[in-house]
Structure 1
Amino acid sequence: MTELPLVLLHAFPLDSRMWDAVREPLASHLRVITPDQRGLGRSPLPESPREPSLEDAARDVVALLDKLGLDRVVLGGCSMGGYLAMAVLRLAPERVGGLVLIDTKGSPDTPEAAQTRLDVAARVEREGIAGWLAEANLPNLLAASTREQRPEIVETVREIIESQPPGGVAWTALALRTRPDSLDLLRGCGVPALVIVGEEDPITPVAAASELAGVLDGATLVVLPGAGHLTPLEDPAGVVEAILSWYPATHGE
């Protein structure tokens, strides 16, 4: 029995480099694929007359699976990557053999959060991202202890954010604000699921992760102490252990 490949989708406003610390340890056991999402990292932003939508980003993921000849995968994502994994599940459920949802949630944006994303997109279009986007996001992305005691992690996240194309940042912010509620989708999806969350995550706290695990039948919930919203960067060993411990032959094909 061959284990399904693992596709990991990154957070906003980062790119696939956020998986650097977990990619090699996982790849010694599994086939791991870590794409950049449209408009971020090295992935271009296609011209489109349509309003930004995660459905289009989900189509990109399905097109990548087609290109790689992968019928089914275990689909994982951190934060926005989790939202995108849910969009792929909605679009092409037959391609998803399992879910790894990291520091994410199934509920849509509140009106306040949606307005904040609109404001971010407008500011990016006016000013670009230099000098403010990283600083605005770092307090929410990393645990206080990480920011205070691990400057190398702070600098890595800052560098990744500051290298993003402004057009892709604006497009993604607008796409995220219109995502639907996915709790009912997850409730009926019927695939094995792992939910990982940092104990100090201020954006998707443990309560949100518990709600997510609660709607996924038989899901495993792992809480990583001392980590915030970016557990693959803050506690890569914990994320690797959680995934490999959960990834038994049930995900084979």
Structure 2
Amino acid sequence: MSAVVLLPGLLNDARLWQHQSVYFADEREVIVPDLTQSESIHEMAEKVLDETRGRIALAGLSMGGYVALEIIKMAPDRVCRLALFDTSARLDSPERRAERISSLKLAEEGKFLGVSRKLLPRIIHEKWVDTEVGETVIAMGKTLGKAVFIRQQQAILARRSQAPFLRDIAVPTLVAIGDSDQVTPLEESVLMAREIPQSALHIIETAGHLPPLEQPDATNHLLKQWLMWQ
């Protein structure tokens, strides 16, 4: 049975996928790779391929989705199914790119503040800001810190568009996004679901950019169904 490989996003670690790791542990090998030390999306993809065996059921969120798309382009025979959460195949809009460059510059100038409580409503649904979900998001940012933020943002800014390759994806693909995601526009998920032949789009209610943390039961259900798709 294929291992389930779960890829975190920017300033996320294994805590992003903690509920899924526990949920699937009895029936599958679950792997959450460390994507904090690589210098590029391609290098992250190579690391995941090196650290896993055989065909994998691959899921990625946000930056992890960029890595997942790079993996299936590099080694399509290694992926038996794909799940793309709150991510995009296209490059950032000019406005989003400018935001990334600005935040990167501030971090390089020593003004990195991690994930502040003020920033949380943009990342997660307002319902979860003052809960354990919000605390976990802040804690991940503190743990990973400035150097990881700079490294990952630089990798994201230098990534290539995967949009031209979407039609080549030949495995069952789940595309999912929170209904209140303010980071990744819904249209990006719609595009991927339209272009990938064997895909289905799901919008997760009362969730922002991090559904695996915000709506763990809904995410677990989607992934369980995805693992049974033929």
| TM-score range relative to shorter protein | over 0.9
* Distance apart, 1:214 and its partner CA: 1.1
CA contact (8 A) 2:180 2:206 kept: yes
Tell me, in whole angstroms, the C-alpha distance in 2 between the residues paired with 1:246 and 1:89: 17
CA contact (8 A) 1:75 1:99 kept: yes
2:49 corresponds to which residue?
Answer: 62
> Structure 1 residue aligned with 2:202, among 200, 222, 225?
222
2:198 is aligned with what amino acid?
G
Query: Is structure 2 residue 157 aligned with structure 1 residue 174?
Result: no
* Distance apart, 1:83 and its partner CA: 0.7
Query: Is structure 2 residue 149 aligned with structure 1 residue 162?
Result: no
Query: Is structure 2 residue 63 aligned with structure 1 residue 80?
Result: yes
> Structure 1 residue aligned with 2:127, among 132, 141, 145?
145
Q: Which moved more, 1:228-237 or 1:112-121?
A: 112-121
- Partner SS, residue 165 of structure 1: helix
1:190 corresponds to which residue?
Answer: 170
Query: Is structure 2 residue 182 aligned with structure 1 residue 202?
Result: yes
2:33 corresponds to which residue?
Answer: 35
Q: Which runs of 5+ in 2 are unaligned?
A: none
CA contact (8 A) 1:198 1:205 kept: no
Tell me, in whole angstroms, the C-alpha distance in 2 between the residues paired with 1:111 and 1:249: 37
CA contact (8 A) 2:8 2:60 kept: yes
2:115 corresponds to which residue?
Answer: 134
Q: Which moved more, 1:77-86 or 1:24-33?
A: 24-33
2:8 corresponds to which residue?
Answer: 10
Q: Which runs of 5+ in 1 are unaligned?
A: 40-44, 46-51
TM, length-normalised to structure 2: 0.92
2:115 is aligned with what amino acid?
A
- Partner SS, residue 164 of structure 1: helix
Deviations 1:78-108 (A, max 9, x none): 1111011111122222212210111111111
RMSD over aligned CA atoms reads: 1.8
1:238 corresponds to which residue?
Answer: 218
CA contact (8 A) 2:11 2:148 kept: no
Identical residues among aligned pairs (%): 28
CA contact (8 A) 1:199 1:205 kept: no
TM, length-normalised to structure 1: 0.84
- Partner SS, residue 37 of structure 1: coil
- Partner SS, residue 115 of structure 2: helix
Tell me, in whole angstroms, the C-alpha distance in 2 between the residues paired with 1:80 and 1:217: 22
> Structure 1 residue aligned with 2:54, among 38, 57, 71?
71
